[in-house]
């Protein structure tokens, strides 16, 4: 039987399927696009007959005609970072429902690699690309995109140099961090924290700069001295080491704000398991992201959340809006943050 091997076989045409299924040619193409509506029985019938005839719509061929690849490129430095893996998971599900597939590209934060990888990515001719400024600048990315208008996740902060407006056309998801960070600082202050340290993310990361600047601004507004900066890189291990330095070499702190939840886990483990300090009694800890692990009993972390589902919906909206109107000026979506209170402050 033809199932005995995966080697190339002949191709049937959509017309043959339509005829056998006694449906229109249009119904056949609709059946293969999860995004279009079609009676379930009808879709199942068409797909079953398509299988019998070994028919499949060839996207490579279709892409040449339609100029649509149905691929959405996602440029990430680290697929397995907790936050990113959760975002990619939700995004892939949402894109599948819209008839797109997620194409992963891993870039180093070291720019030198990017151009070679981007030249390579360009060949796949993605319909859209989601990127972060710290990984690839809009001006660089634009040179490698034939039609896709990239989407950048942006973290506006007070007094930032907004060089991007001048750059090539790109759409934006703006994540507003103020609300969540303000709530976090207010809670720490409410429990008497005076000396607040910031265990940072990667130095060159825009998100990190934005987070630190917003924290500075909010603390100044609330009459607190500027945060003590403990340089880290978003990783558990570096945050762990940075916390040891903060207390063994530096003056310590009575509260620590970590640039992300994974870093906060490193902070908590360093405080409890190596410095013998109690959380929240001796030191209060706040994270950023609210990843799935943050509710684990060993951490039970108080953290600033941006809603993953909302974030993914906003990204998908940007993709669809852009595809419907390729010539539109820069599109924007906005996302709020809020504090999720658990056991590490109190």
* Near its own copies in 62-91, by CB under 8 A: 62-64, 67, 69-71, 78-80, 82, 85-86, 88-89
CB neighbours of residue 200 within 10 Å:
27
Told to check if 276 binds its own copies by CB under 8 A, we report no
DSSP string, 289-320: E--GGGGSTTT--EEEE--HHHHHHHHHHHHH
Nearer to its own copies, 223 or 329 (CB): 329
Among left, alpha and beta (phi > 0; psi -120 to 50; other), residue 162 is: beta
Told to check if 220 binds its own copies by CB under 8 A, we report no
Site for its own copies in 177-216 (CB under 8 A): none
Site for its own copies in 126-155 (CB under 8 A): 139, 142-150
Asked if residues 27 and 44 have their Cβ atoms less than 8 Å apart, the reply is no
Told to check if 60 binds its own copies by CB under 8 A, we report yes
Nearer to its own copies, 255 or 264 (CB): 264
Site for its own copies in 238-257 (CB under 8 A): 240
Told to check if 56 binds its own copies by CB under 8 A, we report yes
Buried b / exposed e over 186-195, threshold 16 CB at 10 Å, is ebbbeeebee
**Min dist. Cβ of residue 24 to its own copies (A):** 18
CA distances to 35, 46, 57 from 198, rounded to whole Å, are 45, 58, 53
Nearer to its own copies, 265 or 288 (CB): 265
Tokens of 130: 């989601």
**Min dist. Cβ of residue 169 to its own copies (A):** 5
Told to check if 110 binds its own copies by CB under 8 A, we report no
**Min dist. Cβ of residue 129 to its own copies (A):** 9
Q: Of these, 58, 110, 245, 310, which contacts its own copies (CB under 8 A)? A: 58
Q: Of these, 15, 110, 274, 310, which contacts its own copies (CB under 8 A)? A: 274
Interstrand relation of 151-154 and 128-131 (parallel, antiparallel or unpaired)? parallel
CA–CA gap between residue 258 and residue 41 (Å, rounded): 52
**Min dist. Cβ of residue 14 to its own copies (A):** 12
Closest CA to 333 of 173, 148, 186: 173
Told to check if 346 binds its own copies by CB under 8 A, we report no
Ramachandran angles phi, psi of 142, nearest 5°? -60, -35
């Amino acid at each position: 039987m033809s199932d005995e091997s995966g080697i190339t076989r002949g191709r049937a045409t959509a017309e043959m399927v339509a005829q056998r299924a006694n449906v229109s040619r249009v119904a056949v193409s609709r059946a293969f696009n999860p995004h279009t509506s079609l009676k379930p029985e009808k879709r199942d019938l068409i797909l079953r007959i398509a299988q019998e005839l070994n028919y499949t719509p060839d996207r490579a061929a279709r892409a040449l005609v339609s100029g649509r690849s149905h691929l959405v490129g996602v440029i990430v430095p680290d697929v397995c970072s907790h936050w990113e893996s959760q975002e990619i998971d939700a995004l892939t599900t949402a894109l599948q429902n819209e008839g797109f597939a997620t194409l992963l590209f891993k870039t180093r934060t070291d720019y030198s690699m990017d151009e070679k990888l981007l030249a390579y990515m360009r060949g796949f001719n993605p319909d859209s690309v989601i990127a972060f400024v710290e990984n690839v600048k809009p001006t660089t990315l634009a040179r490698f995109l034939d039609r896709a208008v990239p989407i950048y996740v942006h973290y506006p902060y007070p007094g930032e140099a907004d060089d991007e407006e001048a750059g090539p056309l790109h759409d934006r998801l703006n994540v507003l961090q103020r609300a969540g960070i303000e709530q976090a600082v207010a809670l720490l202050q409410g429990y008497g924290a005076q000396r607040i340290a910031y265990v940072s993310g990667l130095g060159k990361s825009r998100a990190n700069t934005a987070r630190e600047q917003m924290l500075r601004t909010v603390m100044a507004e609330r009459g607190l001295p500027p945060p003590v900066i403990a340089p880290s890189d978003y990783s558990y291990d570096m945050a762990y080491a940075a916390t040891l330095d903060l207390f063994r070499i530096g003056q310590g702190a009575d509260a620590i704000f970590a640039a992300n939840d994974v870093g906060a886990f490193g902070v908590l483990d360093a405080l409890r398991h190596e410095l013998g300090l109690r959380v929240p009694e001796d030191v209060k800890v706040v994270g950023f992201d609210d990843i799935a692990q943050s509710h684990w009993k060993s951490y039970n972390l108080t953290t600033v959340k941006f809603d993953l589902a909302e974030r993914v919906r906003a990204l998908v909206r940007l993709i669809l809006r852009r595809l419907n109107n390729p010539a539109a000026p820069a599109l924007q979506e906005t996302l709020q943050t809020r504090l999720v209170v658990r056991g590490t402050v109190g």
